[in-house]
Amino acid sequence: MEKVERFKYFGEGLFETFKVKGGKLPPHFEYHYERLKEGALFLNIPHPTFEEFKTFTEERINFTKNSEKPFYVKVLLLSLGSGYYGDLPDSYSLEIVIKPLRLPPKNLTLTVSNFKRCSFNPLWRFKTTSFLFNVLVKREALKRGFYDAIVLNERGNVTETSSANFYCLRDGVLLTPPVSEGLLPGVTRRVLLESGKAREEVLPIGKLSKCEKFFISNALLGLREVTLVLEQT
């Protein structure tokens, strides 16, 4: 049977994004690999070892070592195999995208998305190439004049934005929704939780008005304070 690029047919692929500067891998690079590997095991996609993944990335970001500017890096694990969707992939390819990092606006304003997500969808735990839901959330937010939007689940609880984990500061404590609410376990989020700088808590939309500040995080932004406009349209 002819081997096809299953990621094109079925969105069967995974990716990791992070920022590099001076040709060096980012801190906690191994966390990116661990999440990629977990997703590959869940989706039955063959995958590289950590050393193979690390070497692949290091060789390709080496050209940035003489630049003072940060770069956006996306490493993709793409499935190959049978063209029948019920079959398992039998091999993979690695691809990488490297480009100058586009800095976000100084003031980031979020709204509440009109799109909802089901918390029990297991794919939210991984960065899959089936990314259209996130695209729709981002496009809607931009159309309404916002940088991004928080997405609620079927219970009316906050999950995350189209590309970042969400936090609120309440009584001096940084709170972020648990993964069981339907969201990606981000690398920056993991670091904050492991260091004790953040704590998991379910965040119903109706209780956000009691928060003093709001933040988002991902591997490109770090932790950034945002303004949240709670009115839904």
Find the CATH number of the domain harbouring 168.
3.20.10.10
Is residue 151 domain-shared with residue 203, that is, in the same domain?
yes
Q: Bridge partners of 204?
A: 157
Packing angle of the helix pair 187-194, 29-43 (nearest 10 deg): 120
Find the CATH number of the domain harbouring 74.
3.30.470.10
Within a domain: residue 1?
no
The reported pLDDT for the residue numbered 1 is: 63
Is residue 76 domain-shared with residue 132, that is, in the same domain?
no
Is residue 140 domain-shared with residue 224, that is, in the same domain?
yes
Percent of the chain scored above 70 by pLDDT? 98
Q: Is the whole model's pTM more than 0.85, yes or no? A: yes
Examine the pLDDT at 77 and tell me if it is beyond 60: yes
Mean pLDDT of the 196-204 span: 98
Mean pLDDT of the 191-216 span: 97
Q: Which domain holds residue 61?
A: 6-100
The reported pLDDT for the residue numbered 2 is: 76
Q: What is the mean pLDDT of the chain?
A: 96
Mean pLDDT of the 108-125 span: 97
Examine the pLDDT at 171 and tell me if it is beyond 70: yes
Mean pLDDT of the 9-28 span: 96
Domain end residue (candidates: 100, 118, 151): 100
Is residue 140 domain-shared with residue 92, that is, in the same domain?
no
Place of tokens 């096809």: 4
Examine the pLDDT at 233 and tell me if it is beyond 70: no
* Residue ranges in 22-150 assigned as alpha helix (H): 29-43, 50-61, 132-143
Query: Which candidate, 97, 129, 91, 96, places its Cα nearest to that of 4?
Result: 91
For the stretch 140-165, pLDDT in tens is: 999 999 999 999 999 999 999 999 99
Is residue 96 domain-shared with residue 118, that is, in the same domain?
no
Is residue 34 domain-shared with residue 79, that is, in the same domain?
yes
Examine the pLDDT at 232 and tell me if it is beyond 80: no
Within a domain: residue 141?
yes
For the stretch 23-62, pLDDT in tens is: 999 999 999 999 999 999 999 999 999 999 999 999 999 9
Count structural domains, the chain. Answer: 2
Within a domain: residue 118?
yes
Mean pLDDT of the 165-185 span: 97
Q: Which long-range contacts (CB under 8 A, 24 or more apart) does 91-94 make?
A: 91/3, 91/46, 92/40, 92/45, 92/46, 92/47, 92/48, 94/48, 94/53, 94/56
